[in-house]
Amino acid sequence: MSRKKSPFLLVLISLLLCCTPLFTDVSVFAKETAPEKSGTFSIKAAAAFSIDVNSGKVLYNQEGDSPMGIASVTKIISMYIVLSEVNKGNLSWEDTVPISAYAADLSITPDLSNVPLHEESTYTVKDLFDASMIQSANAAVVALAEKIAGSEPNFVDLMKKQLVDWGIQDAKVVNSSGLNNSYLGENIYEGSSSADENELSARDVAIVARHLILDYPEILDVTKIASKMFGENTSDPVEMVNWNWMLPGFINAKEGVDGLKTGTTELAGACFVGTMSKDGQRIITVVLNATDHSKNPSARFDETSKLMDYSFDNWSQKEISQKGTVIPNLETVKVQDGKKETVTVSLAEPIKMWVRNDMDTNKLTIIPTVDDKIVVDGTVEAPITEGDVIGKAELSLIQDTLGYLDNSVKHETDIKIDSTIDKANFIELAWRSISDFFSNLF
């Protein structure tokens, strides 16, 4: 029968784990240290990154574009593919998964995060999926990879293709779990070495996590589980306890946190991609190789908490322009055959975007683009009506250099005509022609 730990017991376990070595992938702590980023705010880690999930707005970037080890954070790529296969109907949660000798042996390798798998026992896709995300069970991921692709190397090819489809070009992926290849024996990916590990940038991790949450939000129903029994109907049941200490009941609990994935190896150090929801906004944070992990097993979570608070406290959505704002270098356009020869133009509507507290919303870059079917050589043809749209303007904050995960994101509003101008009558046009003639003559 499934049983859950009480909140008191979860806290007790967390306290005990804080006083003893904690390993998610291998029995080591981070040996590398990362210098603190200069400025008023920095994260004690080799890399840190934060985004708004819905828009993909980058809220913080500390060495976020440098590929580095990600350890078991890898599993968010693998589980995305599992969810995709289920969604396509190629896989069912109740499908049974055969356990190969490779997966079975890996599941009992000392010092690795796992649940015990036996060739003679029966496990479902859901069993192994939950074990992969809650317990960070490395062999469970391997078993799922073999179920889907026939072999782990074939599954790695699927992972690589998925990353490329997302525009991630510089990733290094050599296995499905995030382990160092030294644990895989003869099962390593062709062309990789026995010392290789998976490497992505913090930005790339954020891209993967965003796709996972947006495409399959049900992932959060699993990642928020604090503990769960595995293999209840087998000869070797075990209780899984989530490695994410920021969940309710753990020592680093933070309200609103419901995922996502930890990872630790000697190369990668202590890593965590987290997600938190507050006041209707969800963010994703990435911390790679938390500097103080060797002294503080909670370091990755402490730094994640700082990054989450920074993201929520320093960014908000604001209107950065007003209806009727004048456009630099396009204050007026000429009017052909109109009662007036020029007309002013302006922004049709205000634009709302993410603004950091220290940014000046008056310092804008406004790039207008007129519709060349309406505006020809800087001229519109009368009659024109107030509110007529003649193009679009793209706005951006000069002080915001962080951008978006998707560079195609633009903040645009229409460019409108400010007043109605009727077509001039024959006499007005004739007089204007005579005046122009003499003006040009003299």
Catalytic positions, written as ranges? 72, 75, 136
Which helix (H) or strand (E) covers residue 228, if one does? strand 227-230
Residue count of the chain, please give it.
442
Which helix (H) or strand (E) covers residue 333, if one does? strand 332-336
| Rounded Cα gap, residues 283 and 59, in angstroms | 9
DSSP structural state of residue 36: P
| Rounded Cα gap, residues 356 and 304, in angstroms | 19
| Rounded Cα gap, residues 367 and 421, in angstroms | 26
Strand pairing report for 199-200 and 68-69: antiparallel
Which helix (H) or strand (E) covers residue 381, if one does? strand 379-381
Residues 6+ apart with CB under 8 A from 56: 210, 404, 405, 406, 409
Can you say whether residue 42 is alpha, beta or left, with left for phi > 0 and alpha for psi between -120 and 50 degrees? beta
Which residue shows structure tokens 């024109």? 384
